[in-house]
């Protein structure tokens, strides 16, 4: 979710996130991305940074970019195992589980999570936006 939000909200690394979007043919994520994106956009609305129309449009636009949204129910066991192995919150591990199961690379803007995964046996399936430069 941290990278997807940079496609619609100008933040540090937004330019690199846009490049990723242009260079990627298939986007997938766990269904947790839906409440995460929605809550972030709500906060922007609450801070008067988005109008209601902008908020609705942003959520809708981000969701349309994902070809497949995977059920948390099917990812939960693997996400829990990753969470226990990495001693890291399960929320992030759903994204890692999705990437591992799908044979994909997880691109994250969360450097704490990136560094933890990168130094583990799962290091080959995680990338930061900086790694893409």
pLDDT, greater one: 10 or 71: 71
**128 pairs with which residues across the strands?**
108
Q: What is the mean pLDDT of residues 69-90?
A: 98
117 touches 82 (CB < 8 A): no
pLDDT tens-digit map of 4-42: 777 777 777 667 776 766 666 678 999 999 999 999 999
* The model's pTM: 0.86
Q: How many CB atoms lie within 10 A of CB 21?
A: 14
Gyration radius from the chain CA atoms:
15
Helices and strands, counts by H and E, the chain = 7, 4
- Give 44's pLDDT tier (boundaries 50, 70, 90): very high
Which CATH code is given to the segment(s) 2-132?
A: 3.40.50.1010
């Amino acid at each position: 979710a941290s990278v997807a939000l940079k496609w619609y909200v100008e933040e540090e690394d937004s330019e690199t996130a846009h490049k990723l979007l242009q260079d990627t043919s298939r986007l997938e994520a766990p269904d947790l991305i839906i409440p995460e994106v929605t809550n972030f956009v709500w906060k922007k609305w609450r801070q008067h940074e988005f109008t209601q129309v902008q908020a609705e449009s942003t959520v809708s636009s981000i969701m349309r970019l994902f070809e497949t949204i995977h059920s948390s129910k099917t990812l939960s066991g693997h996400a829990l195992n990753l969470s226990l192995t990495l001693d890291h919150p399960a929320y992030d591990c759903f994204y890692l589980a999705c990437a591992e199961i799908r044979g994909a690379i997880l691109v994250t803007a969360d450097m704490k999570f990136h560094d933890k995964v990168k130094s583990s046996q799962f290091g080959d399936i995680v990338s930061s936006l900086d790694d893409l430069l």
